[in-house]
Amino acid sequence: MKTREVVVGPRARADIGRIADYIAIFVSPVNGDEFLDRIFEFMWRLDLAAQRGIDRADIHRGLRVIPFEKRANIAVIITEETATVVRVFHRGQDWESALRHQFGRS
């Protein structure tokens, strides 16, 4: 099985921070911290079997969108060497339009 380096990009980190802040404010700080722990654990495990989720090469070469806990979608660009998390979208966000815009496919 191919092992890849996992990279979490700056936009993805910002997305995760916003989602965790929202959970901390509107649910509880503990839940926000637990969400951070779970999503980062999930992302670090993309080093193996990164090619899961939905192939969205129509938006960007190597792009896959992976659902996380029915609460979020994680956008990852897969290359031979890396799995780069480029964005994280909370349930209900129009991730497809956002990614098309980000990669100039709108």
Query: For every one of its 106 residues, what pLDDT tens digit does the chain have, with 9 covering 90 and above?
Result: 689 999 999 999 999 999 999 999 999 999 989 999 999 999 999 999 888 999 999 999 999 999 999 889 999 999 999 999 999 999 889 999 999 999 986 5
| CATH classification code of 5-102 | 3.30.2310.20
**pTM for the structure as a whole:** 0.92
Task: Tell me which residue of 84, 88, 86, 83 sits closest to 1, measured CA to CA.
Answer: 83
- pLDDT of 91 reads 87
- pLDDT of 106 reads 59
Structure tokens at 51: 């090619």
